[in-house]
Amino acid sequence: MAAVGWIGLGNMGGPMAANLVKAGHTVRGYDVVPAAVEAAAAAGVEPAGSVAEAVAGADVVFTMLPKGEHSRAVYLGEDGIFAAASTDTLIVESSTIDIETAQLLHDTAAGAGFRFVDAPVSGGISGAAAATLTFMVGGEPGAVQEAAGYIEPMAGNVIATGGPTTGEAAKICNNLMLFINMAGTAEGAVLADRLGLDRKVFWDIASVSSGDSWALRTWYPLPDVVPTAAANNDFAPTFTAELANKDITLALQAAEGTGTPLRVGAQVQELLQQLLDAGQGGRDCTMIVQLVDGRLEVTDQA
């Protein structure tokens, strides 16, 4: 069994690290928030007081941090992973971050002699707890294969995406499509209601017709249609508007860098931004439906 270092024990990292403990690994975890470390310790993660302490003697280190800026601090800082870890340690970056930061981390890792992969995940908090996440793993083939062995106890699917940064690229494009589908579903749902359709009848039709999508089946934004929807629960978050806005903004940044016009994606980002501006960033992203049905006022849409 392996010695694992884990940095970032939040909503995703906490249950993911716990699944590595369940698989028999020794996991030493660090988070800047002491309560996150305590919660992980209750699941068998050994608490570490710093990044350096978490990575010392580790066979593999995972990071699960909010954004690129956090990853840059944790990897490149004076007491960061590249300064503190042994080059024998395999490093797996599972945060959803921008392509530029992922490339910088790959380049720095290669320059310093580390094996490094970008391995973001899809499947949400429930997938993290149930060990059914999809991992998209980019990097040199040997490192990707080695990482897959450690990832397996947390995953339903492990997919090699290609060279450095392709894991992040896959994640960013997937989530761009998800949030566009989600916004489209919100518009269809409200219009169907106003045209006098029974909600459940319309959902039954769309879910076996060409309007079907993961967002429709999992996140239908009107209450009492699908059990997993945040709409049943006054938009208590299953995926916050803030996180959705972060992810779609990563797609827009990548689009700029590649000269790709994302006109629909840009409009959906504006809608998510309106939720944030209305102080609703911590609530579920499907609250976008309230910009369609008028419960929240649309302000600056073109």
3-state secondary structure of 121: strand
Annotation says 171 is catalytic: yes
Nearest to ligand NAD of 109, 206 (CB atom): 109
Residue window 67-106: x/- pattern of binding to ligand NAD, with contact defined by CB under 6 A = ---x--xx--------------------xx----------
- Smallest distance, Å, CB 70 to ligand NAD? 4
Single residue of 8, 138, 221, 281 touching ligand NAD by CB under 6 A: 8
Count of other CB atoms within 10 angstroms of residue 135: 26
Helix ranges restricted to H, the chain: 13-22, 34-42, 51-55, 68-76, 81-84, 99-112, 124-130, 141-151, 166-194, 199-206, 214-219, 241-258, 263-277, 289-293
CB nearer ligand NAD, residue 46 or residue 187 = 46
Rounded CA separation 230/223 (Å): 8
Structural Rg of the chain based on CA atoms: 20
The answer to whether residue 10 forms part of the interface with ligand NAD (CB under 6 A) is yes
Q: How far is the CB of 43 from ligand NAD (least distance, A)?
A: 14
Is 163:116 a contact under the CB 8 Å cutoff?
no
To ligand NAD, the closest distance from the beta carbon of 22 in angstroms equals: 18
Rule CB under 6 A: which of 110-149 touch ligand NAD?
121-122, 124-125
Q: Does 66 bind ligand NAD (CB under 6 A)?
A: yes
Is-contact 122 133, C-beta < 8 A?
A: yes
Report, in Å, the least distance between residue 227 CB and ligand NAD. 18
Contact 264, 180 (CB under 8 A): yes
Q: Are strands 60-63 and 3-7 parallel, antiparallel or unpaired?
A: parallel
Taking CB atoms, the residue at the shortest distance from ligand NAD is: 10
- Return the residue of 4, 6, 9, 20 that touches ligand NAD, per CB under 6 A: 9
Binding site for ligand NAD (CB under 6 A): 7-13, 30-33, 36, 64-66, 70, 73-74, 95-96, 121-122, 124-125, 239, 243
